[in-house]
Chains A and B, each alone.
Chain A
Amino acid sequence: MSSTTESLPFTPEEAAPPRNTAWRRFRRHRLAMLGAAVIAVLVLGSVLGPFVIPYDETYIDILHRFAPPFAGPHVLGTDELGRDMLARLMMGGRISLAVAFTAMAISMVIGISVGAIAGYYGGVVGAALMRLVDAVLCFPTIFLLLALAALVQPGLGSITLLIAATAWMEVARIVEGQIRALRERDFAVAAEVLGASDRYIVFRELVPNAIAPIVVSATLNVAKAILLESYVSFLGYGIQPPVASWGNMLNNAQIYLTSAPWLAVMPGLFITLAVTSFNFLGDGLRDALDPRMDQP
């Protein structure tokens, strides 16, 4: 195996359909467009919102605890410590979305690497890696995540890593299958004959040709990561207060369910909205990028 990455005299062929057809199909998918719009609003609101509204999300105002929403200066009300709900939801959105995107990125790196290696080399290495994937998938994600979270110091970085560690397997499976199929195709063989390095063939020739399913599962993984973050944080092993996340805002909400139901309703709605949007977006991308689904 040579380790040089020389340039090849041909360009990899495009497996994805021409961009404009995919884009046209995507635009036809109204729910996916809606999802994309909602995501844009949520991201912008989380990033810019805190600069706009007059409340600090950590400011405790004992005199104005449990202010109901849509009445008075606190638009979405206040929580049990009198903190402004809207400010907390925006800051919580920053954390939840940042954790989800980062976890997605890490899980994609792990999943693509494992899948590409297993699919390209096959044989014992491939089989061993794929059995590892199967085995990890046997563990219910939440059990695994909680067990791991209980073992480490809870923190932003560790939670992100743990979510990524429990979400890379599906990607690995998809990439492995794609790479195994693509590997036999002419351009991979040609690249091999021309003496390209393995790493070059895998990451410059094969992975780009499997980009469509990778993009789709990346989108769906963001949805999954938001959900997982909310689960661990709700159960108290994720993002720790006073830092707000959509999940840990629900942490205490159960106690006040009778007196202040909005404490539980608001963050849950945001989680559902974000996750649904990413799922619709992923669905639309799948329809747009996968030409086999293009039936009249």
Chain B
Amino acid sequence: MGSYFLRRLGQAALLLVVVSMIGFAILHLAPGGPLAQYAMHGNMSQEDLDRIAAQLGLDRPLPVQYADWFLRMLGGNWGTSYRDGQPVLHIIGAHLGATLELMLTATLAAMLLGCWIGILGAIRRYSVFDYLATIGAMVALSVPTFWFGLVAIFVFSVELGWLPAGNRETIGDGSLPDLLHHLIAPALVLALVETAIWSRFMRSSMLDVVGQDYIRTARAKGLPEWRVLSGHAFRNALLPMITVAGLQLPTLLGGALVTETVFTWPGMGRLFLDSIEYRDYPVVMGILMFSASLVLIGNLLADMLYAVADPRIRLG
């Protein structure tokens, strides 16, 4: 298993290099390149720009610039915000908590609900429930998240007045009940798509497992059906879900961005949009690279967790 981990780690490192190249390319393909942020300042002359370019090393060959940039990124120097001069990583860190809170809550809800729907759909295949769940998941995957957020605000805040229409807390309150109260609507909106994804994968995984020979063996032992399902089917069907959790991280992050926008949630997605608004390229690039790295690390962790959970890989 050690060699498996090393190989996987090597692949992830290689992927990180390719990811960083894409980021670097975006930075340089942009009109004006990395200088754009200075050029926008308005009161800068061409001499000033040239001086800055030389200062930043932009007159060097691109590969050298890339290596320099990549090493600085690895060292944690992601540049400073054009807006307030703060280090980019620091700003991202300040907004990460809110995003993680939203993503984890939504994922937890989606996992529980999605697995339940998926398992029930697989056990009662072709039942009315299965049919409705299948159609429901397909529709949920087709609803634009922001629009679903708007509808949720309209129903629960405007019409019913049950939930706040946005923000993470009431100014001056911030108690746990207040935080939870604010969390419900955005988490549920974000959980919609996630639930659909989890239920689809769980259903097909469960169907796959239920058709296996060892399930027939378990029944032939005389186990009651619920023990066949919980002891033999569920555990095995859950294994591929680890991979699913890793694979749909980009979807989750994208969904979080949109949800944060609708609910004015002070997270990374909101920060990303604000930074785009202000043309704060260092922060935009920082978040882009940060989210890609997060996905990469998430997938790596998922693969390793899978290897630990599956004795065929752990001991094979």
Contacts and interface: CB of A to CB of B under 8 A. Distances in A.
Verify whether A and B have any Cβ pair under 8 Å.
yes
Interface of A: 31, 131-132, 134-144, 146-148, 150-152, 223, 227, 230-231, 234-235, 237, 247, 250, 253-254, 257-258, 261, 264-265, 267-268, 271-272, 275-276, 279-280, 283
A264 B151 contact: yes
A143 B15 contact: no
Interface stretch (B47-55, B83-91, B220-228, B246-254): B246-254
Contacts, number: 133
Contact of A265 (B14, B151, B254, B273): B151
A132 B25 CA distance: 13
Contact of A134 (B18, B285, B291): B18
B308 to A, nearest CB: 23
A138 B30 CA distance: 20
B81 interface: no
Contact of B272 (A132, A135, A146, A265): A146
A237 B273 CA distance: 10
B32 to A, nearest CB: 9
A234 B15 contact: no
Given A257-B154, A258-B158, A265-B151, A143 B273 contact: no
Contacts of B299: 138
B146 interface: yes
Given A132-B18, A264-B154, A272 B147 contact: yes
Interface residues of B, number: 47
Interface stretch (B56-64, B133-141, B168-176, B237-245): B133-141
A250 B284 CA distance: 24
A189 to B, nearest CB: 31
B31 A152 contact: yes
Contact of A234 (B22, B144, B153, B296): B144
Task: Give the top 3 A-B pairs by smallest Cβ distance, nearest first.
Answer: A268-B147, A275-B142, A135-B18
Contact of A151 (B30, B153, B261): B30
Contacts of A139: 19, 22, 250, 288, 291-292, 295
Contact of B254 (A142, A148, A257): A142
A151 B31 contact: yes
Given A143-B291, A268-B150, A150 B279 contact: yes
A265 B143 CA distance: 12
Interface in B258-316: 258, 261-262, 272-273, 276, 279, 284-285, 287-288, 291-293, 295-296, 299
